[in-house]
Structure 1
Amino acid sequence: MKTIYNILAISLTITLLFSCNEEQITNNHQRQLLAVAIDGQVGNPNIPGSLDEGNTTTITTYKELDFSNLALEIVVSPGATVFPESGQAVDFASNGNQYTYTITSESGISKDWVIAVDQFVNPVGGTWGIDKLEFYWDDWFGWGNSGLVPLTDKLPLSASGVDDIITFSAIELVDDAGIVYGSYMRSTGADGQSANYTNDLTGKDYSDKFDRITGASGNWQINADGTMTFTDANGLVTTGKSIEVIDANTILIKLDPGPQTWEIDWGDYFGNPENALNFAWDLLYTLKRQ
């Protein structure tokens, strides 16, 4: 009986110890950077999603700010703290336009996070000539009927638009979501002819797929994820897939040409250009600065 009483006493002691200290003990080691914002922010910063993915992120602003006295709004894991605090002005300029913040978990474990700040440069502002207009197609049958080719290979009449000129405005608006807005104008090139997307063999018009930065004017936007969207004067919206700055004088804009029609000429599977045109997945504009 004495042994049983001893065991009960020990168990009661352990229970009381845990009860007394449970408010002082925590297993919350979370020290994640969840969000960061700056005045005039463009897009969303690419913050590593876990502690194993890195500790560096970049935030972009279109405003001319004093990088020696920047105050960021910072959100961290619940229960954690950040130093310097959210809203506290710090000197980014003396540190290569970046600063190291320390996030400490509720349990007292710390992690350093490096936040860099970039000045946004409008990648499309100015006047450009269409240097190449290509499309990628794939019917997914796996018989080699796929590839990236100049649009003129399948629609020879589209050559009239390949030398067109596109002028993108400077930034006209940046909204609270970090989306950048502007306008554009498109004019004919040296040949003086507007783009023609008609298949000269069948008479079928493919403007709905390939006339995508279309019309004499319209609006553009650079989305929070860095892609571009175009809306022409008639309200046609074209979704961008990516924009790549090749060099100071060259950009590549990849657009969505719209849904595939899934029509195949099995009688001339490799020869009929419409087999490729119907299965266009990407439309690529290579633009050269004028």
Structure 2
Amino acid sequence: MNDEKFIHETSNGNEFTHESMINFGAFHATNENYKRMKTTIYSILILITALLFHSCEKDLMDEVNEGNWNNERNILGINLNKQIGEAVIKRTADEATINITVNAVDLDLSAIAITDLTLSYDATANTSVGEKLDFDNPENKASITVTSKKGETLIWDVFIEPFVNELEGSWSISSFYFMWDDGFGWGNAGEDEVAALLPASASGLDDVITFGEVKGADSDGRVFGDYERTTGDDGAVASFVYESTGVDWSSLFGQLPVGTGQWVLNKDNSITITVDDKSYTTSIFQKEDESTLKIPLNTGAQELDKINWDNYYGDHSNKFIAGTALYYTLMRL
């Protein structure tokens, strides 16, 4: 059969010669090769992308593991022996300071131990917990050098403020004194020992009052410690009942009560004492010398409308309601 003469008629009437069929086969083969090539190119691109991603991921993890990103060199927390309250930590760029108040009673400023030290992640310091810092200099200053994982350093200046608790210790009662003046100018004014006005209170004069060492500071920065008042050898508790009237004046004279509790030193140097959930706040205490304290108590508002005019000079109640000063003088044991 002659190729040029061969004609194939399709069902729709189109005609294909042998030559056109050969051309179609060639086209079909070329198209299949193109598809295979395209698939191969896609596979290569996917493989290259995966390799690049793996390479980037590996490099990133290497950088994380090596710590080259970490330049943190902060002190996040610190505690020293006999520290009062929290350390004040400040950093501005490369200026870093820490201020700490410490109880300086029986404390060697040249060797104050670090009891806690918290640093930034993976940072190191030139000192550690248990080691001691020397603050025995005019600035009361020591330094800590912190090094980041990346190797950069920052010097932290640590300053202490020594606090000497003038209250701390056990004290005997030297005197308990009261002053009064109703302001009328008719003679209801004077001063005397409380025991001279209330004889039953004399049993409390051999008591011992103890202000324990500083245990910490509250959120307002007020230091506090344990309080205790114990009876003397007679074991008797002072009574503040005025026998002539039967009225108990403990609310005035019993402001340093027998028992155990807590003392708080307020910012104005007054003292708040709490025993059995009852609190009493003194006026500003005064240090007379190294062994003597004067602790003024609150006399409250004068209630002159309660004066007993029928026994103006003989009724001590007229003195108690016109109080102007009330204080203990304590001697260090």
Note the 1:133-212 alignment, pairs <5 A: 133-212=176-255
- What is aligned with 1:248? 290
Instruction: Kindly indicate whether residue 266 of structure 2 is the aligned counterpart of residue 223 of structure 1.
Output: yes
Between the aligned partners of 2:331 and 2:301, the Cα distance in structure 1 is 28
Q: Could you tell me how far apart the structure 2 residues matched to 1:228 and 1:186 are?
A: 15
Q: 1:113 maps to what in 2?
A: none
Please tell me whether the aligned partners of residues 157 and 196 of structure 1 are also in contact (alpha carbons under 8 angstroms). Answer: yes
> Any residues of structure 2 matched to 1:230-241 within 5 Å, and which?
230-233=273-276, 235-241=277-283
Residues 231 and 258 of structure 2 are in contact (CA less than 8 Å); yes or no, is this contact kept in structure 1? no
1:41 touches 1:61 (CA, 8 Å); kept in 2?
A: yes
Contact 2:268 2:284 in 1 (8 A): no
Alignment CA distance shift 1:151-1:97 (3 Å): same
- Pairs within 5 Å for 1:62-141: 62-63=102-103, 95=138, 119-141=162-184
Question: CA separation in 2, counterparts of 1:60 and 1:150?
Answer: 43
Q: Which amino acid aligns with 2:246?
A: G
Aligned partner letter, 1:217: T
Are the aligned partners of 1:154 and 1:274 in contact in 2 as well (CA < 8 Å)? no
Residue matched to 2:43: none
1:43-58 equivalence runs, <5 A: none
Cα gap change, 1:178/1:272 in structure 2, threshold over 3 Å: closer, same or farther?
same
What is the CA distance between 1:173 and its match in structure 2?
A: 1.5
Bigger radius of gyration among the two: 2
In structure 2, stretches of 5+ residues that fail to align are 1-79, 86-98, 111-134, 142-159
1:93 to partner: Cα distance = 6.3
Deviations 1:253-282 (A, max 9, x none): 111143433311212222221110122243
1:261 matched to 2:303: yes
Amino acid in structure 1 at the alignment position of 2:163: F
Quick one: structure 1 residues 125 and 176, their matched pair in 2 at CA, closer, same or farther if it must change by over 3 Å? same
Question: 1-side partners of 2:185 and 2:140: how far apart?
Answer: 49
Contact 2:103–2:165 (Cα < 8 Å) also in 1? no
Deviation at 1:94, TM superposition (A): 5.5
Q: Which runs of 5+ in 1 are unaligned?
A: 1-38, 43-58, 69-91, 99-116
Between 1:273-282 and 1:124-133, the stretch displaced more is: 273-282
CA RMSD of aligned residues (A): 3.1
Q: CA 1:212–1:93 in structure 2 vs 1: closer, same or farther (change >3 Å)?
A: same
TM-score, reference length from structure 1: 0.59
How far residue 247 of structure 1 moved from its aligned partner, in angstroms, is: 1.6
CA distance in 2, matches of 1:62, 1:95: 16
Query: 1: CA distance between counterparts of 2:137 and 2:215?
Result: 31
Q: Any idea what SS the aligned residue of 1:171 has?
A: strand
Amino acid at match of 1:265: N
- Residues 274 and 62 from structure 1, CA distance in 2 versus in 1: closer, same or farther, beyond 3 angstroms? same
The structure with the largest helix share of the pair is 2
Q: Say if 1:141 and 1:131 are closer, same or farther in 2 by CA, change over 3 A.
A: same
- Which residue identity lines up with residue 139 of structure 1 in the other structure? D
Q: Does 2:324 align with 1:284?
A: no
Distance 1:66 1:125, change over 3 A: closer
Contact 2:84 2:216 in 1 (8 A): no
TM-score, length basis structure 2 = 0.52
- What is the CA deviation profile of residues 37-77 of structure 1, one whole-angstrom value per residue up to 9, with x for unaligned ones? xx9689xxxxxxxxxxxxxxxx9943569989xxxxxxxxx
Deviations 1:11-55 (CA, angstroms, capped at 9, x unpaired): xxxxxxxxxxxxxxxxxxxxxxxxxxxx9689xxxxxxxxxxxxx
Percent identity, please. 37
Question: Larger relative CO (CA 8 A, sep 6+): 1 or 2?
Answer: 1
Decide which moves more: 256-265 or 180-189. Answer: 256-265
> 1:180 is matched by which residue type in structure 2?
V
